[in-house]
């Protein structure tokens, strides 16, 4: 006899057989609950052990989205309005918000016998264009090679007014050179720049842009932090 569990036909089944069917049904339910519990526990263990990996891979999706806006490893930056620029030294302009920190840092360094030289501050996108394309042809480099040492126009932190290139007054031969990292000025900056809200933009850890020990950026205002938000997210990913 074919057994059908639909409610219309259930009453027609003999009592002994009903019990058998109920038991069978309960058994199936128990197995389903056990399987569900097993996968839930297994899932929780997997999440606990790989929490960082799972969270990071979720986070990386965001980072990858940010990667899309980069050109040859550089993030896009708007040109600062001229009214926000002040001259810190003849022909060197910087954002007015970082002016005092920069002056204070230079003075404090002098107290320690370190003489910082400001080499380059704000650069217009027009100037960046000239630098990028003239040096590229001068050095017989293609865009990709040049981008390792200089940002393409529209992609330089210098156009925000919050970037400053620094040298050592006693080692001018190291200006814009990796050897600047051997100077006392660099050592001092490494130990003290953060107190004045400056950080190295292109450190040794990242591989898309060459290491630039002379190039520092200011992160001591909300505006500056917002500007460098995408770049900082990328730092989190690397470190």
Which residues of the chain form contacts with Zn ion (CB under 5 A)? Answer: 165, 215
Task: Give me the helix-helix angle, 15-49 and 51-67, nearest 10°.
Answer: 60
Least Å distance between CB 66 and Zn ion? 21
Tokens of 207: 């591989």
Task: CB nearer to Zn ion: give 6 or 91.
Answer: 91
Which residue in the block uniquely carries the two structure tokens 């292109």? 202
Query: Which residue sits closest to Zn ion, CB atoms considered?
Result: 215
Please give the DSSP secondary-structure letter assigned to residue 156. -
Task: CB nearer to Zn ion: give 74 or 215.
Answer: 215
Least Å distance between CB 223 and Zn ion? 19
Task: CB nearer to Zn ion: give 97 or 212.
Answer: 212
For 1, the enclosing helix (H) or strand (E) is none
- In the sheet with 116-120, reading across from the earlier edge strand, the strands are 116-120, 163-168, 215-218, 198-200
Least Å distance between CB 214 and Zn ion? 7
For 193, the enclosing helix (H) or strand (E) is none
Least Å distance between CB 202 and Zn ion? 8
Cβ atoms within 10 Å, residue 31: 10
């Amino acid at each position: 006899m074919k057994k059908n569990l639909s409610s219309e036909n259930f009453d027609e089944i003999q009592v002994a057989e009903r019990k058998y069917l109920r038991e069978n049904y309960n058994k199936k339910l128990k197995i389903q609950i056990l399987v569900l519990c097993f996968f839930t526990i297994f899932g929780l263990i997997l999440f606990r052990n790989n929490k960082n990996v799972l969270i990071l891979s979720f986070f990386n999706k965001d980072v990858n989205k940010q990667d899309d806006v980069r050109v040859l490893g550089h993030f896009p930056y708007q040109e600062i309005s001229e009214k926000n620029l002040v001259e810190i030294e003849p022909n060197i302009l910087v954002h007015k918000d970082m002016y005092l920190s920069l002056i204070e840092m230079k003075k404090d360094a002098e107290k320690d016998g370190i003489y910082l030289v400001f080499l380059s501050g704000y650069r217009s996108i027009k100037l960046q264009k000239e630098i990028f394309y003239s040096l590229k042809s001068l050095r017989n480099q293609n865009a990709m090679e040049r981008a390792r040492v200089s940002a393409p126009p529209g992609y330089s932190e210098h156009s925000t007014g919050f970037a400053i290139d620094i040298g050592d007054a006693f080692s001018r031969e190291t200006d814009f050179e990796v050897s600047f990292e051997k100077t006392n000025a660099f050592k001092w900056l490494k130990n003290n720049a953060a107190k004045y809200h400056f950080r190295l933009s292109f450190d040794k850890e990242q591989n898309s842009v060459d290491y630039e020990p002379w190039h520092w950026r200011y992160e001591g205002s909300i505006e500056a932090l917002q500007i460098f938000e995408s770049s900082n997210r990328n730092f989190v990913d690397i470190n």
